[in-house]
Structure 1
């Protein structure tokens, strides 16, 4: 069923967040008979005021047969297809689509798409800035910032779309064919949503399912989950970043296709992982014809994104860093590696089913760790005997920072990179990062910034 076939069709919108509302508007504009579903207790009066004729189903679990009379279900990315009502609809042959599928059906300009467990927001932003620097009309969004459907213009399309895509969005997408795409890395994440690691990895590979001759897929050299896949036997142009790749680091320079691009000392973003992000962005930009001068200009000027290894303040001779976007193990391991020892780490939250045991090796030799949230008991079992730990439960970020400050010595760094999602205690990772920064600024000491 394509967009032109929607008139009079029964379409359920599952999830009433920002993306869900963009799905609703898209379907209503095309004449569908919509209903809106969400397990949360939301403000029905507000929704009814804005959509007077819309049937609302809020505040309760979806019955298993809830969607069996629908022609189509449009799913917000937070809802897993393993949810019983969605799984039953899928078994009955009812399509489950998300916003990226609808976008792919109607967008006409080339698409550059980025996914991966970590770094995708940084790479998406870098490529968008490179396109701007080259004078292109570019629209940037997806999982980052503006929902994809809101990027679609009423008039002339941009010359390029740059989309960050989550594994959730890719699961609900069938038609997307990017001109160039990247899978930056794989580390266990969202296993509660996907069911197991194999399904999560398969979702990431869906970014390349329709790509073919003339399209470019950017991959790392070293990630074992990205070394073997049928897509690698197709007519795709495969370009890798890392040791020996088309983008690599040699003699303290970023190299692109064997030529010097930029000294790593001129990058404003810290850490080996951000050097690799820069290489991936450069390969993607070059694949769609963005000139080298624009690529270099952005790499020199880009200072990083909020809550991603962001320096907050120096207090009592200790530097505090906000990496609240470290919502999974891989992201936090990269952040720990990026900063010199010794660190005081703030870890914990909702581990989403991930195995956190690799943190033991990363924490060896560090100053200490402050633990919080749902994963506190698990982390305490892993880290006891590895380094000094302080447990804070659900006492809040102010207590975490107070305990971290007590562990730290002048010259140390305190790093909030929890290796876990935030929703057990905070609105989102931004809220967690803002509360961390506020607690740091409330400490007595030297410089705020």
Structure 2
């Protein structure tokens, strides 16, 4: 899209919205910017961009209808009246990923799903780096995608992007060379409206793919595999699956776990890639993440030796099943990034137990009743945050419960209920913003409280 000299609105001024603003200005657009919030750094923004007309507060009827284009930050409701009116007036309305896809010249690997996105995105980036490729990693993880584009110098040889359902909901022509849908579990239902709309947003990752592109699907997730008949003709579908998944006829290029190794299927039975025992990541879900990364790396031609090297060296992401330490015979694990039901169910399954769980926050409208079965037989649960009362109702009679008001209280309560040989697991199944800045802040406070226990144990 040529927006040089055009009147362009930037809507939403969070991290990604500001990358949209910087990109539009670099492309020569005449920018106006709006956010429904009165930002604390509004004056600093005006000082940094004196030529930009900023508007803070509720959007007016028809506010964007006279623009040449509207660029929308992820997370803003796509059907809000002001944006709908702009589209009705024929104004192009694009999200950050749609604009990125138009500007990028190197192949794109895109990863989505309810859980594991950050791990798989990071792994593929590490694999490409181990092969000596110039690679840029970001999107919903870390650096906004538009900031990965070169302002000068050579373009990366590969972009590896984590994509949220918010970003994908705004995509129509976004075209990755290889993409993956890792899994589905209910999440962000307060934003999408229902589970079907959430899955439909995720499925937009492949809608513009075509011949020569590869889509990686989780053969062990029935909801993911149900998308296969809707994939455009010519897209190669490959799968990944652990020993328990039933695969009738996996395509060449698919990755499986068999006899203690990861294999890439092909002629003559395929290629043995690496021993599962060489993987440092904990849990069956991380073996799935490794297989997804291997399938994606293979799809874009990363050498097998580089992929195995990166996997063997990777110790995991912060706040994702990260072992904090052992105190009085009890191991403490930080899985603060477990912000939805699916992530927490996988985290529980990945540890031997008995577990003392720390749960709670903002459930985002999700049904957390499957936690009843997962928590049966565990030691206890400590509940905090906005939806602690709802969780107390869900888990009543299943295991001992205690509601608390802070992370420090939660850790102390968990330590009091745990016995030697147990694990204390922070995997909240909920978002963090009701009590914390973000999931990283929640995880840091957990780790600090655990270190406080260690300091007081001497």
Shorter-chain-normalised TM-score: which range?
over 0.9
Correspondence 1:85 to 2:82: yes
In structure 2, relative to structure 1, the CA distance for the partners of 1:40 and 1:396 (3 Å cut) is farther
Correspondence 1:237 to 2:236: yes
2:430 is aligned to 420
Shift of 1:92: 4.3
Q: In the aligned structure 2, how far is the partner of 1:183 from the partner of 1:115?
A: 5
In structure 2, relative to structure 1, the CA distance for the partners of 1:182 and 1:377 (3 Å cut) is same
Equivalent residue for 1:389, pick from 401, 407, 410: 401
Contact 1:317 1:411 (8 Å CA) reproduced = yes
Shift of 1:64: 4.3
Q: In the aligned structure 1, how far is the partner of 2:456 from the partner of 2:345?
A: 29
In structure 2, relative to structure 1, the CA distance for the partners of 1:94 and 1:356 (3 Å cut) is farther
Correspondence 1:11 to 2:8: yes
1:27 is aligned to 24
The alignment partner of 2:386 has SS state of coil
Please list, as runs of the form range in 1=range in 2, the aligned pairs for 1:363-374 lying within 5 A after superposition: 363-374=375-386
Q: In the aligned structure 1, how far is the partner of 2:430 from the partner of 2:84?
A: 27
Shift of 1:140: 1.1
Q: In the aligned structure 1, how far is the partner of 2:382 from the partner of 2:91?
A: 47
Correspondence 1:251 to 2:263: no
Please list, as runs of the form range in 1=range in 2, the aligned pairs for 1:20-419 lying within 5 A after superposition: 20-42=17-39, 43-58=41-56, 60-153=57-150, 154-229=152-227, 230-232=229-231, 234-242=233-241, 243=245, 244=247, 245=250, 246-257=254-265, 258-392=270-404, 395-419=405-429
The alignment partner of 2:231 has SS state of helix
Shift of 1:433: 0.4
Shift of 1:377: 1.4
Shift of 1:134: 0.8
Shift of 1:95: 2.8
The alignment partner of 1:443 has SS state of helix
Shift of 1:67: 2.4
Contact 2:327 2:454 (8 Å CA) reproduced = yes
CA RMSD across the alignment: 1.7
Q: In the aligned structure 2, how far is the partner of 1:117 from the partner of 1:61?
A: 31
Shift of 1:233: 5.8
Q: With structure 1 as the length reference, what TM-score do the two structures score?
A: 0.95
> Residue by residue, what CA displacement relative to the aligned partner does 1:86-128 show, whole Å, maximum 9, x if unpaired?
3443444433211111111111111111111110110011111
Shift of 1:41: 2.5
Q: In the aligned structure 2, how far is the partner of 1:24 from the partner of 1:314?
A: 47
Give the aligned length.
442
Q: In the aligned structure 2, how far is the partner of 1:399 from the partner of 1:94?
A: 52
The alignment partner of 1:217 has SS state of strand
Shift of 1:226: 1.8
Shift of 1:62: 2.5
Shift of 1:445: 6.5
In structure 2, the gaps of 5 or more residues are: none
Q: With structure 2 as the length reference, what TM-score do the two structures score?
A: 0.93
In structure 1, the gaps of 5 or more residues are: none
Q: In the aligned structure 2, how far is the partner of 1:341 from the partner of 1:64?
A: 55
In structure 2, relative to structure 1, the CA distance for the partners of 1:286 and 1:411 (3 Å cut) is same
In structure 2, relative to structure 1, the CA distance for the partners of 1:51 and 1:294 (3 Å cut) is same
When structure 1 is superposed on structure 2, of 77-86 and 217-226 the one drifting more is 77-86
> Residue by residue, what CA displacement relative to the aligned partner does 1:219-271 show, whole Å, maximum 9, x if unpaired?
01122222233443621111011133521122222222143222222110010
